[in-house]
Amino acid sequence: MEPTSLSGLPSGVGEALEAEGVAELYPPQAEAVEAGLLEGENLVAAVPTASGKTLIAELAMLSAIERGGTALYIVPLRALASEKRAEFERFEEFGVTVGVSTGNYESDGEWLATRDVIVATSEKVDSLIRNGAPWIDDLSCVVSDEIHLVNDRSRGPTLEVTLAKLRRINEGLQTVALSATVGNAREIADWLDAALVDSDWRPIDLRVGVHANGAIDFDDGSRTDVPVGDPPTDDQTAALVDDALDTVEDGRGGSSLVFVNSRRNAESAARNLARVTRRHLEEAEREELDALAEEIRSGSETDTGESLAEVIEAGAAFHHAGLTSDQRALVEDAFRDRLIKCICATPTLAAGVNTPARRVIVRDWRRYDGEFGGMKPLDALEVHQMCGRAGRPGLDPYGEAVLLANDAEQSEELFDRYVWADAEPVRSKLAAEPALRTHVLATIATGFASTREGLFEFLANTLYAEQADDDRHLRSVTDGVVEYLVANEFLERERDGGREALAATSIGHTVSRLYLDPMSAAELIDGLRAAGGGGSAASDGTDTLDADGVRYAPSEDPDEQADGFVTYGRVDGDGKGGDGERSDDGAAAAAAGDAGIDLTPLGLYHLVSRTPDMYELYLKSGDEERYTQTYYEREAELLGAAPSEHEEVRFEDWLASLKTARLLEDWATEVDEDRIAERYQVGPGDVRGKVDAAEWLLRAAETLAREIDLPEAAVTSIRDARKRVEYGVREELLELAGVREVGRKRARRLYEAGIASRDDLREADKATVLGALRGRERTAETILENAGREDPSMDDVRPDASAAAAATAGAGTEEDEDGQSNLGDFR
DNA sequence: GTCAGGATGATCTAGACAGCATGTC
DNA sequence: CTAGATCATCCTGAC
């Protein structure tokens, strides 16, 4: 089937595809077309990675657009959204417009409505539905990429529910779902009332094998010797990477992708393999790599950045979530450009953007899992996804995926478990409390259901219902969740004649729209109420707003306390307990004495850190004592009642949150990034992640504080705390850091040079500004312009030396808690 | 006295979505 | 409490 013979596409598209090199549709693509893809039929395509799934999606969307409709493309990761946008934009010459909507990158809402194709993450789509984005109603085609992720415990249910909602809103909606090859594609197709294309076909051959005893046994029966024992390739991985580099096509050796099970392993393996890749570099490559390393170093002065730079110089790299998104993108691009010869990665890369390699090496096939209680073998699906990264279209005659085994016995096990095995079936994870908590609330708040029965009727459209023998379990979890939501006043029961109806309260609507886990919202509300809505921190002493003794204790309705599950996270008592005394029974004494607890940044950071929407920091050895100590010292700042120290698990969580809060506080007091990374033993990417999450949650907290009528001073405290994490500065720099192009470092330099505000920037002596900015004229001009200065030009201005000196001295203004380790600190 | 190298014990463990306001493909 | 790799530390034995 040739692309030009397809009907129903915008004119010229067929020819354009042909020009791209699509002479003939791949068999699965042709099968999809025969199943009515171009006529709006539903379709599930379960095919291997890189076998033309994207074209299937494109054909569906283009034909929908040709019929006058619009399409939505749902991706699992933000990084994939931009990748897909770039891909789809090649159809702009046919008048097809593309827009993206994700959490951190949003095209204007109205503008989006004019796009033909919108790319969004599943959470964003869910959020858009909750917030009533009008264009959702007008969609004619939805494509869901990587739909096997409904199997994911934490994020799968959202995709499942979102698809159910989209299909409910618009009965005629064409649904196209793309999946990896899974055990039960038929079931997914049945759920979506779709035709099924289930195929193992690939455009590039993939050979999968197991390496043991110096040779790879491939699934096609062939065997390749790759001896081990010749330093510096004296381990399996190194030997295989070396071997791949020896197979030269068009002048360059084959690249490898190594999957390992921890960040530490990724970094140490990269160091090890750098010795191998280094020997395969040419002079020109060496220079380019040096430039890349330099870019990494200038981007983030952390240990992680430094060790990444070091291995990059040798043509290797590691890749995991501790890297910033910049660092990751840089590594991915350089690998695609064939400059980096080998990446050692955690599973970030298996599900992420497209980074094919000549050879994939699955070094570790077990990973620690706390719930499982030990090292758990990876799912076959996961390993298949990794292996699917082997084979670069147009470069490799075939891809090779190699699993590593210690001996013949293990080799056999790996063949059975992964090489010959089919991927596991996808199972809905919807019937779990955390998932239902948020989706039940949203379902009612957005009017998809208004009674208990209505809820079940809606949930019958999910994959869970398709798979479950009966819905008793789902019903019982749902009932429990409804109780929880009612007890926390997110939902209320109404008598409507004889029937009992469910409706979202005003707060419930807010929580749904904020996209918060209701449990996070409950935690935030309880914490804020327990604080008594005191004025802002000692900064200005205006505590007048709570002078009337207003205390925001929770309601004392005894019914609410009947069930531990229902009242989880609520604060008992009347808020008149002793002065911040710790309560040993978990009740009472939440609020402090007469002055009320101020909302300090640390208190707020701790509050947001203990919500389920914040990923927990791990307590390492020694942390338990360290943060117990911190807890005693700063107990008065923390909001709400601490769990008793005897409740070990909950108390540990409390300390872990305190650790996160301290990290955020460090960030908000201008502690250097590398210092933070070292102190908490995290990567720069983790710091950014924590800061982003805190920013988001504090914004939500601000809205909730208004909703529950806390005094304006409390709202202001929250906003200031939020801005301080957002910019990473102390209070006095908030205004400066709000100026575009002024970050935490420049703000501090300007401040030390005597410039403290936007007005100062407009009025200040230019020589001072230039001096503070270390003589960078372009930067200084841009900043002055952004601050609204009439005459930003720096022509003929010479930097003021004393300002430069002050700025430099001020750059080290961080608190030092290590004390003796820093004798040079004269402050 | 020193140092290589083995035995023992301690330590640690993947990932990443959302809001909102601006400026950017 | 579960597992396994890695790393720090201590110990041994050879010189």
Q: Are residues A353 and A382 in the same domain?
A: yes
Q: What is the CATH number of the domain that holds A501?
A: 1.10.10.10
Asked if residue A790 belongs to a domain, the reply is yes
Q: What are phi and psi of A647, to 5 degrees?
A: -85, 80
Which DSSP letter does residue A417 get? Answer: I
Q: Are residues A234 and A376 in the same domain?
A: yes
Determine the average pLDDT of the residues in A312-319. 94
Peptide bond into A232 cis (omega under 30): yes
Q: Per DSSP, what are the bridge partners of residue A5? A: none
Asked if residue A424 belongs to a domain, the reply is no
Positions of strand B less than 7 angstroms from a protein CB? 10-25
Contact between A284 and A299 (Cβ < 8 Å)? no
Distance, CA of A664 to CA of A47 (rounded, Å): 44
**Tokens found for residue A197:** 């294309």
- For the CA of A271 and the C1' of B1, the distance in angstroms is 35
- For the CA of A391 and the C1' of B22, the distance in angstroms is 40
- Strand C–CB A21 distance below 7 A: no
Last residue of a domain, one of A367, A392, A419: A419
Q: What is the CATH number of the domain that holds A212?
A: 3.40.50.300
Positions of strand C less than 7 angstroms from a protein CB? 1-7
pLDDT-above-70 percentage for chain A? 89
A31-48 pLDDT tens trace: 999 999 999 999 999 999
Q: How many CA atoms lie within 13 A of A176 on its CB side?
A: 34
> pLDDT grade, residue A810 (50/70/90)?
low
What range defines the domain where residue A445 resides?
A: 433-512
Last residue of a domain, one of A486, A512, A538: A512
Asked if residue A736 belongs to a domain, the reply is no
| A727 pLDDT higher than 80 | yes
Which one has a higher pLDDT value, A506 or A51?
A: A506
Q: Are residues A586 and A467 in the same domain?
A: no
- For the CA of A296 and the C1' of C9, the distance in angstroms is 35
The secondary structure of A465-527, three-state, reads HHHCCCCHHHHHHHHHHHHHHHHCCCEEEEEECCEEEEEECHHHHHHHHHCCCHHHHHHHHHH
Q: Are residues A553 and A642 in the same domain?
A: yes
Number of domains observed in the structure of chain A: 5
Question: Which residues of A carry a binding-site annotation for ATP?
Answer: 29
Contacts 24+ apart (CB under 8 A), A793-798: A794/A766, A794/A770, A797/A766, A797/A767, A797/A770, A798/A767, A798/A770
A234-273 pLDDT tens trace: 788 888 998 898 887 667 788 999 999 999 999 999 998 9
Q: Are residues A23 and A53 in the same domain?
A: yes
Asked if residue A823 belongs to a domain, the reply is no
- Strand C–CB A366 distance below 7 A: yes
- Strand C–CB A622 distance below 7 A: no
Return the H-helix or E-strand segment holding A101: strand A98-101
- Strand C–CB A68 distance below 7 A: no
Distance, CA of A817 to CA of A664 (rounded, Å): 15
Place of tokens 């004494």: A589
Distance, CA of A550 to CA of A714 (rounded, Å): 12
- For the CA of A395 and the C1' of B21, the distance in angstroms is 44
- For the CA of A724 and the C1' of C8, the distance in angstroms is 39
Q: Are residues A216 and A193 in the same domain?
A: no
Q: Are residues A481 and A554 in the same domain?
A: no
Q: Are residues A228 and A304 in the same domain?
A: yes
Question: Which residues of A carry a binding-site annotation?
Answer: 29
A359-405 pLDDT tens trace: 999 999 999 988 887 899 999 999 999 999 999 888 888 899 999 99
Q: What is the Cα Rg of chain A in Å? A: 29
Asked if residue A820 belongs to a domain, the reply is no
| A346 pLDDT higher than 60 | yes
A134-183 pLDDT tens trace: 899 989 999 999 999 999 999 999 999 999 999 999 989 999 999 999 99
**Tokens found for residue A72:** 């939505």
Distance, CA of A379 to CA of A417 (rounded, Å): 9
Return the H-helix or E-strand segment holding A257: strand A256-259
Contact between A464 and A428 (Cβ < 8 Å)? yes
Last residue of a domain, one of A492, A512, A532: A512
Q: Are residues A533 and A640 in the same domain?
A: yes
Q: Are residues A216 and A263 in the same domain?
A: yes
- For the CA of A660 and the C1' of B17, the distance in angstroms is 19
Distance, CA of A426 to CA of A183 (rounded, Å): 7
Determine the average pLDDT of the residues in A303-311. 91
Determine the average pLDDT of the residues in A186-214. 94
* Helix (H/G/I), strand (E/B), else coil: A599: strand
**Tokens found for residue A650:** 């909950």
Distance, CA of A558 to CA of A569 (rounded, Å): 15
Asked if residue A552 belongs to a domain, the reply is yes
List the single range of A105-114, A183-192, A379-388, A466-475 with lowest mean pLDDT: A105-114
Beta strand pairing call for A215-218 and A223-225: antiparallel
Q: Are residues A34 and A149 in the same domain?
A: yes
Distance, CA of A484 to CA of A261 (rounded, Å): 37
Q: Are residues A388 and A456 in the same domain?
A: no
> pLDDT grade, residue A517 (50/70/90)?
very high
Q: How many CA atoms lie within 13 A of A813 on its CB side?
A: 21
Contact between A355 and A390 (Cβ < 8 Å)? no
Q: What is the CATH number of the domain that holds A606?
A: 1.10.3380.30
Q: Provide the strand spans (E) within A659-753.
A: none
Nearest DNA or RNA nucleotide to A371 (CA to C1'): C2
